[in-house]
Structure 1
Amino acid sequence: MLVTTCQIFCRLAGYPIPGFLEASEQAIAVFAFLGVAYAQRYGAHIRMDMIIGATHGRLRWLLEAIGTLLAMLLIAVLIRYSWNFFYDAWEVGDTTYDYGIPTWPSKFLVPFAFSIWFVRLTLQLIGFLRLFLWPKADPVAVPIIKSAAEHAEDEASSAGGGK
């Protein structure tokens, strides 16, 4: 935000920061991909809960484990092919057009972030399988998905308006 403000004032003064747009485009990878494992940890990704939300006990944990395993397969494919894009940029020395900013650092962040997400999914899979085997155990390493009403109640209580 500070750099953007500086860019605006420099532009108004007639001296824009060279390569600002290209550097901003490269930085998008940081914001777009590095937060996915964090969001996975808290169950913040969009998901369809119509079937799984209606189940309980072992069936629920089994369905969650199957869904997590499918996500792991997809992420494994994305890691493999995003690594190819990074490696090609590294080998060729790919740069941006105008200012020659190397593109490989931002292209490396994609398979790196997907790898962190894969590790998070692995922990989650182990947690779901544990709950499948021992349904009465406390949930560990799995997101607890709450209804909209439960979520609103938690927010209200954390703001000082609840119990």
Structure 2
Amino acid sequence: MAKELAESGGLLGRMHRGFIPVEDGANLVAALAIMAMMLLGVAQIAMRTIFNNPIDGYIDLVELSMASMAFLGAAYTQRLGSHIRMELLIGKLSGRALWALEALGTALAMFIIGVLIYYSYGHFMRSFTLGDTTIDAEFQVWPSKLLVPIAFAIWWIRLALQFVGAARLVIWPEAEPVAVIVVKNAAEHAQDEIHEVMGDEADLTGPEGKT
């Protein structure tokens, strides 16, 4: 069992692949929310300019959409390593030292996101219990607030997979990276962007997506 885990990632690899559709789905919802807000903005300008009749509750709708646009794509970004990372030190490390530092950083991120899940869920419960609404159009706020702990929970699971992946490489440094972020140079990043545009998910995930 240990040998299989070292060579292929075993259960970790299957969990990594199985969780990808969840992250992609959440990111798709965020992208659709952004598109909807762009279309709504165009409609708002047209209604105000041409008919002098702005859309009721436009500002409220923008506020409610912020949670989906800001947080639902976080786990997807985490998986691809597209977020901002301080790699001045990490880029100079290799082997156990590299993966130990990755595991430490990921564990810290898990703690922070765990705290945010707890408090954001508390905000949702207060909003749901009190029937909180927006100021202008009086739309219910709780659905937007519920998206925050959901998005953070998806992100936390991705971080947990990366933590296990990094810990695995601390034990077996020669194993194939699975469910972890692999530091890439500029040419590799450019190649990834090409694959992303072409929709080639298998190549885009790189070594961390293989099992």
Normalising by structure 2, we get a TM-score of: 0.71
1-structure distance, mates of 2:194, 2:118: 44
Task: Give 1:145 deviation, angstroms.
Answer: 2.0
2-structure distance, mates of 1:93, 1:150: 49
1-structure distance, mates of 2:194, 2:135: 52
2-structure distance, mates of 1:3, 1:74: 34
Q: Provide the residue aligned with 2:124 in structure 1.
A: 86
Runs of 4+ in 1 over 4 A off after TM superposition: 155-159
Name the structure where helix makes up a greater proportion of residues. 2
Number of positions where the alignment pairs a residue of Structure 1 with one of Structure 2: 158
Q: Deviation string for 1:121-145 (max 9, x for gaps)?
A: 0110111111111111111111222
Q: Provide the residue aligned with 1:11 in structure 2.
A: 48
| 2:39 alignment partner AA | L
Segments of 5+ residues of structure 2 without an aligned counterpart are 1-37, 198-211
Kindly indicate whether the alpha-carbon contact (under 8 Å) linking 1:124 and 1:142 is maintained by their aligned counterparts in 2: yes
Is 1:29 matched up with 2:60?
A: no
Normalising by structure 1, we get a TM-score of: 0.90
Q: Structure 1's 47 and 156: CA in aligned 2 closer, same or farther, altered over 3 A?
A: closer
Task: Give 1:72 deviation, angstroms.
Answer: 0.3
Q: Deviation string for 1:21-62 (max 9, x for gaps)?
A: 111111011110101101000011111112222111011111
Q: Provide the residue aligned with 2:87 in structure 1.
A: 49
Is 1:104 matched up with 2:145?
A: no
Q: Structure 1's 5 and 157: CA in aligned 2 closer, same or farther, altered over 3 A?
A: closer
The DSSP-based 3-state class of the residue aligned with 1:80 is helix
Match of 1:133 among 161, 168, 171: 171
Is 1:119 matched up with 2:164?
A: no
1-structure distance, mates of 2:136, 2:75: 33
Task: Give 1:87 deviation, angstroms.
Answer: 0.8
Segments of 5+ residues of structure 1 without an aligned counterpart are none
User: Which region of structure 1 is more displaced relative to structure 2, 49-58 or 85-94?
Assistant: 49-58
